[in-house]
Structure 1
Amino acid sequence: MPRLMTEQETAQMVGMSVHWLRRKRWEGGGIPFIKMSQRGAVRYEEETVRQYLDAHFRTSTHDPGGR
């Protein structure tokens, strides 16, 4: 079973704020998430967060990204 993380855990893992995560969910283009209920409980799968970080890894400003 995949490990599901809260917004707070995810924000800490990626070094951003919970507000950033929420804004990216609204705008699109952020980390894929799971909406657990109609009341708005959101979780992030740990492996998906790691994949998102790997895809955004850069070695220079000219690097297109991804490992």
Structure 2
Amino acid sequence: MNKQTANAAFPLEFASKAYLTEREVSERLNVSIKWLQKTRWAGGGIPFAKFGSNVRYPVTEVMAFEQRSLRASTSHTSGQ
């Protein structure tokens, strides 16, 4: 299986990466880096890893967060 078909849900530049930077996640989800930082501090955001002082987000967790964020309508909330 090549990179183009290995994971069609994610762009090719992420296909071979296990972790994404804050910038990559913010661009992927169209949210600010500040929002990512706030949700890390408050909890309830995307699970992350720290390597020294570097914050990284596992690609699998970003994809799972996207799936959990799907809604059938604007009146649906998480868990419905």
Q: TM-score range by the shorter chain?
A: 0.7 to 0.9
Which structure 2 segments of 5+ residues have no match?
A: 1-15
- State the Cα distance separating 1:65 from its structure 2 match: 4.1
Equivalent residue, structure 2, for 1:12? 27
Any idea what the Cα deviations from partners look like across 1:1-56, whole Å, max 9, x if unmatched? 8611100001111110111000000111000000111xx21000111101011011
Q: What is the TM-score normalised by the length of structure 1?
A: 0.83
Equivalent residue, structure 1, for 2:57? 44
Identity, % of aligned pairs? 36
Paired positions, count = 64
State how far apart, in whole Å, the 2-side matches of 1:50 and 1:13 are. 10
Tell me which structure has the larger Cα radius of gyration: 2
Q: What is the TM-score normalised by the length of structure 2?
A: 0.71
**Runs of 4+ that moved beyond 2 A:** 61-66
Identify the structure with bigger relative contact order (alpha carbons < 8 Å, sequence gap 6+): 1
